[in-house]
Amino acid sequence: MIPFYAFIFLPFIFAIIVPFLYKYLNRQVHTGWFVLLVPLSIFLYFLQYIPSVAAGETYMYTLPWIPTLEINLTSYLDGLGLMFGLLISGVGALVILYSIFYMSKEREALHNFYVYLLMFMGAMLGVVFSDHLLVFYGFWELTSVSSFLLISYWYERRSSRQGALKAMLITVFGGFAMLAGFIMLILMADTYSIRELIANLNLLQNHELFLPAMLCVLVGAFTKSAQFPFSIWLPDAMEAPTPVSSYLHSATMVKAGIYLVARMTPIFGGSSVWFWLVAGVGLITLLYGSLTALRQTDLKALLAYSTISQLGLIMCLLGVGSLAVYFGSGEEGTVFTVATFAALFHLFNHSTFKGSLFMVVGIIDHETGRRDIRFLGGLMHVMPVTFTIALVGGLSMAGLPPFNGFLSKEMFFGAVNEVAHAGIFGLSSLGVLFPIIAWVASIFTFVYCMIFIFKTFGGNFRPEKLTREVHEAPLGMLIPPLVLGLLVILIFFFPNLLGKAILIPALSAVLPMMDVAPYDLKISAWHGLNLELLMTVGVIGFGWLLFKTAKRWITSLRGFPKGFMLSHWFDRGIEETEKLSGSLTNRYMTGSLRHYLIYIFSFFVLLLLGSLLGLHGLHFDFSQDAPIGFFETGLAVAMILAALTVLLAGNRIVAIVALGAMGYMISMFFVIFRAPDLALTQMVVETVTTVLFLLCFYHLPKLKKNIERISFKLTNVIISLAMGVTVSLLALAANGHKLFEPITSFFENAYELAGAKNIVNAILVDFRGFDTMLEISVLTIAGLGVYLLVHQRAKRRESNETE
Amino acid sequence: METLIVILVGILVSIGTYLILSKQLLRIVLGASIVSHAVNLLIMTSGGLKKGSAPLLGEKMAGFTDAIPQALILTAIVINFAVTALVLVLCYRAYQNFGTDDMEQLRGNENE
């Protein structure tokens, strides 16, 4: 257990060390050499699991993290996890080796690069080994974040930043959807563990949240794996350095969604929605990606769309494979189990050939300074090794023998041919579309592979169009794609070796309910004249024809209007949303105090009056009221008159004096209501306030004595009347509800308890002295504030003068 | 009696609100003062306005008026005074700095 976690966290730990290595050793040694040790050791560590996992063993490790919330770093190692672990660490090692020669020691900020890359590697390992849903989500988002950092590695370029932002927005959107789906799953089965979810399937399948959870999880998988229509971020992510594109955007991160779908197949597989969404979207993505790839002139963009299309293929196969869950073990189920096997097989193959192809593009870019096929050509003789690798990778991608892509494509055709005969989920009528679309998409795939190989390496060599003097790449840069290219060929000749050791255990992880034993035979059955082979021959024939006539139709394809591009609509959408929110905010955030006050008052009125009326709180009870006296009535009338004077005064002094009069009348009220202390205080405070007001204006000679009369605004009138009515109604309703006796009688013991005869003063300084203390501080702070406000100005003047 | 005072409070709140909604700084301060007067009266009323003697134990009367609202209002008056003083000086400074007391012109600059 300890070594396992040590290796999972090794990338993170090493990421902390990298900046120091860079700072102290970069002048002598490229930092990448140290980093290379990390994936290499992880790879070697995982290799030793192969025999035992192939024998059907699984490993479960738990590291407590937040045990009280049952959140633990639970790791589960089975065939599927191991396969991804090997891919991540293996391709990771090759990519880092490649990057040592690709990234300049002098010009690049290598410490950033390797920290992000290691972070990504660790996160990706975490994703594929996590059994805990929330921990899975945490690592999942960490891959998004580190991918964001890597895409924007050359952050001074505008396009890098935009690509990174787009990738972030889309993948995090999907991540949130996935989290929602996970939470629904957790609610349904009351467990965080994927293992236990699979074990408690019967709890899930008839639950009303089953479908929403499935949709949310699928959105997460589709955004991460760049499925239609979420694929738009992947081509823009090509602004990243090529090792990153090769690693993240072909071999690992974009397969996280595939991993998720494969992992969830035992849970959701077998339902028609799952089948149609996964297989259908995969098929659409396959066609869309292969068709759009034809339009591209930039090699990396071409590879990006080809990645999208190949991911669609794998997704489609996983969807078809999920039918096996429906049929269960038996003749019919076995047929579709092969589809899942093909998905895993193609996933592995795609990582090998796509990784090598990206590295090839990186080499071309590095050695010629160009990535656009319109400028390239005839590199065959200048870069023979690179050409060989591109040929191997490209032909494998096109699905030609003797490369591994041929095998998986044959299996793909086999699977889609079977779909037409499945006879469930409405497939008897629509099923025939599967082989047709798959076949057409394969033709397009073939064509763009040919374009990739022959427009770059064939034709005339035109050195005048290239920015650098072209020569073969250094050996170190060639080794990683060579290794991958060798794998491509080796897997073709010895597919069963890989199949037995890695793919079969992975298959039994995806479809645990199926009996694995019968497929041993199927894997070796890769030759023989059958329908699939004929389809491949057709692909090659039509593809070659299309490629030869490419000049005629490809310009019209490139001239496609913008309106057909998803990316265009995404950008428009973002732009419009920003505009909309900007105009909305500007509409209500006017900067005018009056408007804000209107919002506040209206809200106050609506909420209080609404709840008062809505909850039937309007009960008046006047029985407790004291009789109305003559003095009070007179005072009240006088107060209203004084307030109206304040309101309508055309002269500041009149308004101030009227306000003072109001204050004195209040103190008269206090006298009548038997509150001597209040009356005293009110009198003094009113005097001081009035003096302050007057002083203020005495010292403001510029301010005219006369002010314009207050203007009549109907809105203001309505709101202020509503405020008055609300306060009155509320007070009346409250007065009608005396729920319990006041506690005043306690304070009437002031003499016994506090030795005071004045109850009010005893409350102020004894019973509730704390309030008074803070009130004093309020007064002090206000005094200080006033002093500073007056004094600061003089200071600033002085400093202005000294300047 | 309570009803009368409550209605008075309502009228004062209306007038105060109307003043607060106007655009002159001084009127806003005046409006706030009127509202605070109204609130003090409301607190007084909520304690009940039954006639009794002032809350002084020296008085030899049967009952006292409620002392708690009185203590509360006393605190409120002082705090209100402090705030009013500060706001007044702020108005004075605002006028000195910007040469206007019109809230619509004191909207702050666009580059905030």
**Under 8 Å between Cβ of B77 and B40:** yes
- In-domain check, residue B110: no
CB pair distance less than 8 Å for A710 and B18: yes
- In-domain check, residue B109: no
CB-nearest partner of B70 from A592, A678, A716? A678
For residue A628 the two structure tokens come to: 């109305």
Q: Whose structure tokens read 């991918």?
A: A147
- Rounded distance, CA A545 to CA A539, Å? 10
Task: Dihedral sign for Cα A685, A689, A695, A698, please.
Answer: negative
CB-nearest partner of A759 from B10, B13, B55? B55
- Rounded distance, CA A593 to CA A527, Å? 81
pLDDT digits (tens, 9 = 90+) for A384-427: 888 888 899 999 988 887 888 888 888 888 888 887 776 676 67
Return the number of other C-beta atoms located less than 10 Å from residue A407's C-beta: 24
- In-domain check, residue B1: no
* Cβ neighbours of residue A641 closer than 8 Å, sequence gap 6 or more: none
Q: Which residues of B touch A720 (CB under 8 A)?
A: 13-18, 21
Contact of A660 with chain B, judged by CB distance below 8 Å, is answered with no
- In-domain check, residue B81: yes
Q: Which residues of A touch B56 (CB under 8 A)?
A: 676, 757-759
CB pair distance less than 8 Å for A681 and B22: no
* Secondary structure class of A679 (helix, strand, coil): helix
Parent domain of B73: 8-53+64-103
CB interface of A with B, residues 715-754, below 8 Å: 716-717, 719-721, 723-725, 727-728, 731-732, 734-735, 742-744, 747-748, 750-751
pLDDT digits (tens, 9 = 90+) for A580-624: 999 999 888 888 888 899 999 999 999 998 988 888 777 777 777
* Cβ neighbours of residue A707 closer than 8 Å, sequence gap 6 or more: A649, A650, A651, A652, A655, B24, B26, B27
Contact of A680 with chain B, judged by CB distance below 8 Å, is answered with no
Query: Where is A260: in which H helix or E strand?
Result: helix A256-268
Return the number of other C-beta atoms located less than 10 Å from residue A392's C-beta: 28
Length of chain B, please? 112
Percent of the residues in chain A that have a pLDDT greater than 70, as a whole number: 93
Contact of B25 with chain A, judged by CB distance below 8 Å, is answered with no
- Rounded distance, CA A228 to CA A226, Å? 7
How far is B65 from chain A, CA to nearest CA, in Å? 7
- Rounded distance, CA B48 to CA B66, Å? 7
- Please give the average pLDDT of every successive group of 10 residues along chain B, which has 112 residues: 89 93 86 93 84 77 81 92 88 76 68 45
**Is pLDDT at A538 greater than 70 in this prediction?**
yes
- In-domain check, residue B108: no
How far is B102 from chain A, CA to nearest CA, in Å? 11
Torsional class of A266: left (φ above 0), alpha (ψ -120 to 50), beta (otherwise) = alpha
- Rounded distance, CA A381 to CA A182, Å? 54
CATH number for B89: 1.10.287.3510
* Cβ neighbours of residue A280 closer than 8 Å, sequence gap 6 or more: A319
The residue in chain B having the minimum alpha-carbon distance to the alpha carbon of residue A785 is B86
Beta-bridge mates of residue A372: A298
**Under 8 Å between Cβ of A269 and A331:** no
CB-nearest partner of B70 from A646, A760, A779? A760
pLDDT digits (tens, 9 = 90+) for A637-655: 999 999 999 888 877 788 8
The residue in chain A having the minimum alpha-carbon distance to the alpha carbon of residue B100 is A703
For residue A724 the two structure tokens come to: 């008055």
- In-domain check, residue B72: yes
* Cβ neighbours of residue B104 closer than 8 Å, sequence gap 6 or more: A592, A594, B23
Overall domain count for chain B: 1
CB pair distance less than 8 Å for A703 and B13: no
How far is B26 from chain A, CA to nearest CA, in Å? 9
* Cβ neighbours of residue A37 closer than 8 Å, sequence gap 6 or more: none
The residue in chain B having the minimum alpha-carbon distance to the alpha carbon of residue A672 is B51
How far is A572 from chain B, CA to nearest CA, in Å? 27
**Is pLDDT at A774 greater than 90 in this prediction?**
yes
Contact of B34 with chain A, judged by CB distance below 8 Å, is answered with yes
* Secondary structure class of B102 (helix, strand, coil): strand
* Cβ neighbours of residue B112 closer than 8 Å, sequence gap 6 or more: none
- In-domain check, residue B22: yes
Average of pLDDT values for A443-455? Answer: 88
- In-domain check, residue B3: no
pLDDT digits (tens, 9 = 90+) for A100-121: 888 887 788 888 888 999 999 9
The larger pLDDT score, comparing residue B103 to residue A436, is at: A436
**Under 8 Å between Cβ of A696 and B88:** yes
| Residue B42 one-letter amino acid | L
How far out from the chain centre does Cα A515 lie? 38
- Rounded distance, CA A418 to CA A59, Å? 35
Contact of A64 with chain B, judged by CB distance below 8 Å, is answered with no
Beta-bridge mates of residue A75: A61, A130
pLDDT digits (tens, 9 = 90+) for A507-533: 888 887 776 655 555 665 556 667 778
**Under 8 Å between Cβ of A276 and A425:** yes
Return the number of other C-beta atoms located less than 10 Å from residue A472's C-beta: 16
**Under 8 Å between Cβ of A294 and A451:** yes
DSSP per residue, A48-116: TTHHHHHTT--EEEEEEEEGGGTEEEEEEE-HHHHHHHHHHHHHHHHHHHHHHHHS-TTTS-HHHHHHH
A211: confidence class by pLDDT, cuts 50, 70, 90: confident
Return the number of other C-beta atoms located less than 10 Å from residue A234's C-beta: 28
Least confident of A356-360, A374-378, A463-467, A634-638: A463-467
Return the number of other C-beta atoms located less than 10 Å from residue A716's C-beta: 21
CB-based burial of residue A200 (10 Å sphere; 0-12 exposed, 13-18 middle, 19+ buried)?
A: middle
How many CB contacts within 8 angstroms connect chain A with chain B? 263
Name the DSSP class of A271: S
CB interface of A with B, residues 582-621, below 8 Å: 591-594, 597-598, 601
